[in-house]
Structure 1
Amino acid sequence: MTNNFNRKIFAGISVSISIFSTALGQEVQKNPNVIIIMADQLRADLLQREGYPLNTMPFADSLAGQGTWFNRAYTAAPASGPARVSMLTGRFPSATHVRSNHNLRDAFYTKDLFDVAREQGYATALVGKNHSHLSPDRVDYWRPYNHDGQGPEDKSEIGEAFDKYLKTLDMYADMKPSPYGIEGQLPYRMVDDASHWIDTLSDTPFLMWFSMAEPHNPYQTCEPYYSMFPPESLPRMKSSAGDLKTKGEEYLLLAEMMGQGHVGYQDNLQRLRSIYHGMLRMIDDQLARLVDELKEKGVYDNTIILFVADHGDYVGEYGLMKKGVGLDDALSRIPMQWTGPGIKASPTPHEAHVSIIDIFPTICEIMGADIPLGMQGRSLWPLLQEKEYPEKEFESVMVQDGFGGMYYTRDDATDFQEEGAVGKKGLFFDELNTWTQSGTMRMLRKGDWKLVYDMDGNGQLYNLREDSSELDNLFDDKAYEKIKNEMIGNLLRWEISVQDPIPVPRQRYRFKRNDHNYLFR
């Protein structure tokens, strides 16, 4: 049994607990297939449908127009492990106990997405990057790919060579076109694996987590993608390294460490941005190829496709790449689009504020399953069908960050190599380190406004319509005191509402939940 099973017993809860039926009059397609296509570290505002001047992901944009998409979708935390565990469990990191990339085995919940899918008779698969509490014994088809290549499964000659090449990049970048063409790239090989597995299923409904390790570093791509977005053609950034001091000491430390690890990265910043854009188009072409495979196999019409990211990337914001500190929208806002049977098509974004933790309860209702106890996400199924829903429920959304404790600062030991943040040789740099991830922060988005607040009472307030790079902190401006107080009150309501409900009382008290697991109606 897994470590999580022991935690389930500790919580005093049977994993078969359910409180209410999720059908609730919704028209759920019988046994639709579900594919979660996840990109790793994809910045939402670099899509043309978001107003970006370059056409980075035309197929994803066209697919979004055939379904429902959100431009106020947020991760649970801007780090892979916490975000992915939250998606699979429908719970914030404060409840899963996975607040860093190094606590995956501590995941705390009653049931996750793969438990429910198996109970509903679905075949299950992971094709791609895991970086969650999920393990091979719980999945019917396990085909892992990570940032340094494919798992131990049989590889083609090109695959073997490309994976060796990836390991030479030390999780940084290749400033030249990568070798071996598109056939070596991981998303291409993943489409082959996914297609092969679907062929084996006959009429069995399936859940597939198709999880690409791109456009996360190491930043690399082959031709023609390498040359599609030349550095000189990229839009000018609204911020630069000159704004690091405005953003604060954590950002300055991150830039210092990044400069030590990725020597000369500032000189290469435009090329890095260019490669990132090329990776987006490469991903987009493989998304199109996967959909073509579904159509050719005759399963597309009964398949719900969710395209999402676990978090974003600075992509040059504040002169930085990757991720690391703060809850800026560059890192915390994610693309989220749903397409498939029963989902209404709209060319414009849905106005709701939604979270990655809302994915699991939504899929529960799509499958006709009960929403497990302990869930903090809300089902989006009524929204996706254009049915009535309480607008107040989705007028704001929260994001969490930090592994806890006090902030590490420049006054503490600054041997970044000894700590493991910066490699002792080569170009390695791990931006999720002791300094960048210490402390605890919360973020609230509501309409055009954004509040960030930490455990020391430091506050940030931004108007995202006027200040998309979040440089003009209005928190102490008396002219915005009413808005600030409303945002603080809203954040407090979120914090109280998502206190972990498990374990529930063992006797007498009856635990009540709203339809669709709504929190605020």
Structure 2
Amino acid sequence: MRPDIVIVMTDQQRVGLTRRSGYPVDTMPFVDALAERGTDFRNAYTAAPACVPARTSLLTGRFPSAHQVRQNSNAQYARFQQDLLDVLRDADYQLHFAGKPHMHRGEADFDTYAGPYFHTKGPEYSADEKAFDDWLERLDHGVSDEPTPYDVTCQLPYRITSDALKAVDEADPDRPGLFWVSYPEPHNPYQVPQPYFDLVAPEDVPERTAGPEAAEQKGGTYAWLRKLQEEKRPGYDDNWRRYTANYLGMLRLLDDQIRRLHDGLAQRQRPRLTIVLADHGDYVGEYGLQRKGAGLSEFLMRIPFVLAGDGVAVQQRDEPVSIVDVLPTVCEAVGRPIPDGVQGRSLLPLAQGEPAPEEEFAGVIAEQGFGGRAYDVTARPPLHFTYEGRTFDELNTVTQSGGARMLRSGRWKLIVHADLPGELYDLENDPVELDNLFDDERHLAVRARLLHQLTRWQARLTDDLPTGNYVPLRLAHNWRWTATQGEPR
């Protein structure tokens, strides 16, 4: 019997903030328990630290430079042959979506579609929901100093879960289904009602790894964004503990709704493959920054990624994996071929406890930027918002200018820019990425090895969409095939 596919996606969730991952605050007990019953990929990465490029990568199994969606405003230009919805539709799956889309697919592509929900608004079924959404809008993506004055039932995750459970109730029990539930939280605005507001007091928030001085040391877009945020909201970093406490409370609120969703799905008498992940991370105060926007820091690039369900081994895996691996994993789970042009790898064999081909999983890449030359740290170009007032968008002409690619391999991280100096970090000894070893003579051999790995990845990324019967490309992306049959020609 083919399994239901359940995708639970959060937005801007930083990895490492749950008790299972070593954090002292118990933010997501249910998701932690789910990870303990399945496969926890501890070195999972997004394809890009922005919503639409990352979600397009999940759907298409392609990196941004291949699918061509490199910013949040051009989802309609996605280049692919078949995406996740096409594959499942061809396999006679019913398709259900609830939540925040931020993707190239819309309501007409699903059997049921509850949304769109965004960060300050969703479908409103009551006066209280409308009042809550208006209150969210007035926060201007900021941090609330007080508990949200509306009941948890007005919160977007609660409403999204209710919509998703309605789809579960009405779904055909005799056909497998995709149930994609996409939560806008814990993305800004940072707010949460009681009892979540008091999950941890600000004075008890664990210390951050690095403060504002780290942004100045990093320079570039880190320093530029830090300066912009201070101009827009003077003293904003003085409140970083309240911001972090709200963020942690939002994680617990999400966890309760994911539990509620899981309990509702249990009524379907089918095997199930559940994927829980985020699109990208959040600084959560590191570098004296909020939200995202600057650079390819681990705080933005690493994501939670759990596979659970029938046939999935109970284990932790350390291989570097990517959000682009979701599509080929689902293809194998439902018995469909991986579409041509897919650049990800099926993780199902890993989730079933098989060893990973060493060369294929030696590293993982990601990208940032929509091209052009990178702006200098002193730049003040016109933006899509004014320099006056409190409103700002961290994803803007300056922070997203230029282009960069990163490679994570073992303890090492390499970042190559189109027109800026290279970066090389030893993450074991320098998790905040402040000691750039790119030009250190003692690390030239490491740099050369990583540059070679990155070059091989870039050759994969330049694959154009195939035409006709381009079978070798399909086989090249099925590493289970290459592991047993040898390298494709």
Q: TM-score, normalised by structure 2?
A: 0.94
How far apart are 1:210 and its partner, in Å? 0.4
- The amino acid across from 1:429 in the alignment is F
- The amino acid across from 1:64 in the alignment is A
Match of 2:405 in 1: 442
Is structure 2 residue 465 aligned with structure 1 residue 514? no
2:276 paired residue among 296, 307, 312: 307
Is structure 2 residue 124 aligned with structure 1 residue 157? no
CA shift digits 1:236-281 (9 cap, x unpaired): 1121101122111211110111123334311211111111111111
2:171 paired residue among 198, 201, 209: 201
Match of 1:503 in 2: 466
Is structure 2 residue 125 aligned with structure 1 residue 178? no
The alignment covers a number of residue pairs equal to 480
Distance 2:172 2:136 in 1: 36
What is the correspondence of 1:138-153 to structure 2 with a 5 Å cutoff?
A: 138-144=109-115, 145-151=117-123
Match of 1:227 in 2: 198
How far apart are 1:388 and its partner, in Å? 4.5
How far apart are 1:515 and its partner, in Å? 6.6
Match of 1:119 in 2: 90
CA shift digits 1:365-392 (9 cap, x unpaired): 1111111111111111111111344132
Match of 1:488 in 2: 451
Distance 1:86 1:233 in 2: 37
- The amino acid across from 1:366 in the alignment is A
2:324 paired residue among 342, 345, 357: 357
Match of 2:303 in 1: 334
Contact 2:320 2:364 in 1 (8 A): yes
How far apart are 1:423 and its partner, in Å? 6.6
Structure 2 residue matching 1:401: 3-state secondary structure: strand
User: Structure 1's 510 and 124: CA in aligned 2 closer, same or farther, altered over 3 A?
Assistant: closer
Contact 2:24 2:206 in 1 (8 A): yes
Distance 1:516 1:498 in 2: 12
Contact 1:257 1:422 in 2 (8 A): no
How far apart are 1:501 and its partner, in Å? 3.4
CA shift digits 1:123-180 (9 cap, x unpaired): 11220000111111111111111101213xx513332221121111112222211121
- The amino acid across from 1:441 in the alignment is A
Match of 2:294 in 1: 325
Match of 1:379 in 2: 346
What is the correspondence of 1:69-80 to structure 2 with a 5 Å cutoff?
A: 69-80=40-51
How far apart are 1:442 and its partner, in Å? 0.6
Contact 2:237 2:285 in 1 (8 A): no
Distance 2:198 2:223 in 1: 32
Contact 1:450 1:462 in 2 (8 A): yes
Distance 2:247 2:473 in 1: 46
Segment of structure 1 superposing worse, 431-440 or 263-272: 263-272
Segment of structure 1 superposing worse, 164-173 or 71-80: 164-173
Distance 1:124 1:318 in 2: 41
Is structure 2 residue 132 aligned with structure 1 residue 168? no
2:228 paired residue among 248, 251, 257: 257
Structure 2 residue matching 1:188: 3-state secondary structure: helix
How far apart are 1:422 and its partner, in Å? 4.6
Distance 1:354 1:510 in 2: 24
Contact 2:342 2:474 in 1 (8 A): no
How far apart are 1:399 and its partner, in Å? 0.6
- The amino acid across from 1:149 in the alignment is K
Distance 1:67 1:354 in 2: 16
Match of 2:22 in 1: 51
Contact 2:342 2:477 in 1 (8 A): no
Contact 1:172 1:262 in 2 (8 A): no
Structure 1 residue matching 2:162: 3-state secondary structure: helix
How far apart are 1:224 and its partner, in Å? 0.7
Q: Name the % identity.
A: 43
Structure 1 unaligned segments of length 5 or more: list them: 1-29
**Please, what is the CA RMSD of the aligned residues?**
1.8
Segment of structure 1 superposing worse, 392-401 or 201-210: 201-210
User: Structure 1's 510 and 157: CA in aligned 2 closer, same or farther, altered over 3 A?
Assistant: closer
Structure 1 residue matching 2:200: 3-state secondary structure: coil
Distance 2:368 2:452 in 1: 19
Q: TM-score, normalised by structure 1?
A: 0.89
How far apart are 1:87 and its partner, in Å? 0.5
